[in-house]
Amino acid sequence: MVYNLTKGKSKDLIKGGEFKMRKKVSLLLVLALILSMLVIGCGEAEAPADDEEDVAVDAGEDVAELSKVGLVVAGGLGDRSFYDSANEGVEKAKEDLGIEIKVYECRNDPSLYTDQLVQASEYAPIVAVVGHEFYDVVQEIAEEFPDVYYIYVDNEIEGIDNLITISYAENEGSFLAGALAAMLTEEDSIGMVGGKDMPVIRNFEVGYRAGAEYINPDIKIETIFAEDFEDPAKGKEGATALYSGGADIVFQVAGKTGEGVFEAAKEMGKYAIGVDTDQRYINPDVIVASMVKKVGQSIYDTIINIQNDEIEPGKVVYYGLEQGGVGMGYGTEDMKQFVTDEMKAKLDEIEEKILNGEIEVPAAK
């Protein structure tokens, strides 16, 4: 059936040649519109709008002082994990170096990445960008603001002079976490709740798996991806499934989602391992340790290096066990300790072996 593309609701009343004529004309008009739009759509390419009067690009003046830092995060603060760690880094820089800081949250909304990064670049001469999601956007904006330094965390980009990327050896830290889990478990069954099935998180997973199998080759390891970094309910669901399946320790690598893992551990009387920051303080009775990824520390170091002009432009900085970028956190003395001194000694021994190359930790990218 072809629709009568004509005015009015009286389709059956109008008949005859005139109507057909009008129908054809309307169809033609529609076609013409489509084509003209296509032409506009493609032709506009030659009209780059580079008026700059509206967009305040005055970064040049501030560069000399380097006294402001903008922090752009892909998710939101308050995860007590990855993003909060980055925030701690700039907060520390604010205290120690007396700089001004401002945080720009994108709340996992890809349509805000460019906007927020532009805002931050206009605000500060140093911009810390946290989240692998910014891979394209940060390259594009870094070229637009050549006088702004970008510290880009969690990915690897080389060759842009005002862009320093920081990459972490999550697999090395997770190797220790896996080894610890294998030593602590009584069921010979452990689990992991990942935020999303993606390269960075898979890098945690292979390390964790390898570490656990290093201690006990027959250990059962299961991973569930929550497909979310912001939803504790999904973390709880995943952890509950793992605990019900026999695991007694679950490693959470899921940001805020991980809070649900801790809840599930508490309710089911099982244990969990935290991530990114030393999370033991959240619930010292179920969180036995944390695998720490020192995002904040690395940002802090890089800010100082930029201020002292000690950076290598366009390079990737690696933070592994060797650089103290990843490691284990056991909370404070007054908390109930699950990890015995022998276990710590064993972990130190493993760390030693990783550093001197005796153990090769697999990586997933």
Partner 1 sequence: MNSRFSSEDLEYIVSLTLSIAVSLIMGALIMIANGRSPMVGYGALIRGAFGGKYSIANTLAKTVPLALTGLATAISFRSGIFNIGGEGQLYLGAFAAAYVGITFTALPKGLGMLLAILAGALVGGLYAYVPGFLKVKYKIDEVITTIMLNTVAVLFTSYLVNYPFAPAAGKLNATEIISEQFHLSRLIRLSTLNTSIFFMGFIALFMYYLMEKTSAGYDFKLVGQNSLFARFGGIDDRKQMLIAMVISGSLCGLAGVFEVLGVHYRFLQHISPGYAWDGMLVALIVKNNPIGVMIMSIFFGALKTGSIAMENATSIPSELVLVIQSIIILFIAGERGFKDKFKEWNLRRRVGQKAGERNA
- Closest by Cα among 131, 143, 195 to 314: 143
Answer yes or no whether residue 13 interacts with partner 1 by CB under 8 A: no
Residues found in the chain: 365
Q: With contacts defined by CB under 8 A, name the span among 60-68, 98-106, 180-188, 329-337 that binds partner 1.
A: 98-106
Answer yes or no whether residue 319 interacts with partner 1 by CB under 8 A: no
Q: Which residue has the tokens 């912001």?
A: 230
Q: What is the closest distance, in whole angstroms, from the C-beta atom of residue 113 to partner 1 in the complex?
A: 9
Answer yes or no whether residue 119 interacts with partner 1 by CB under 8 A: yes
Q: Which two tokens stand for residue 270?
A: 């099982």
CA distances from 85 to 40, 59, 95, 149, 352 (A): 47, 27, 15, 20, 26
Looking at residue 125, the DSSP 8-state letter turns out to be: S
Task: Count the site residues for partner 1 by CB under 8 A.
Answer: 59
Answer yes or no whether residue 324 interacts with partner 1 by CB under 8 A: no
Q: Where are the beta strands (DSSP E) in the chain?
A: 68-73, 100-105, 126-130, 149-153, 163-168, 189-194, 220-225, 249-253, 271-276, 287-293, 316-319, 326-329
**Is the distance from CB of 292 to CB of 277 less than 8 angstroms?**
yes
> Restricting to residues 20-59, which ones interact with partner 1 according to CB under 8 A?
30, 33-34, 37-38, 40-42, 44-45, 47-52, 54-55
> Restricting to residues 130-159, which ones interact with partner 1 according to CB under 8 A?
132-133, 135-136, 141, 144, 154-157
- Candidates 88, 188, 199, 284; binder of partner 1 (CB under 8 A) is 199
Chain residues in the site for partner 1 (CB under 8 A): 1, 3-9, 11, 30, 33-34, 37-38, 40-42, 44-45, 47-52, 54-55, 102, 104-105, 107-112, 114-116, 118-119, 123, 132-133, 135-136, 141, 144, 154-157, 196-200, 227, 365
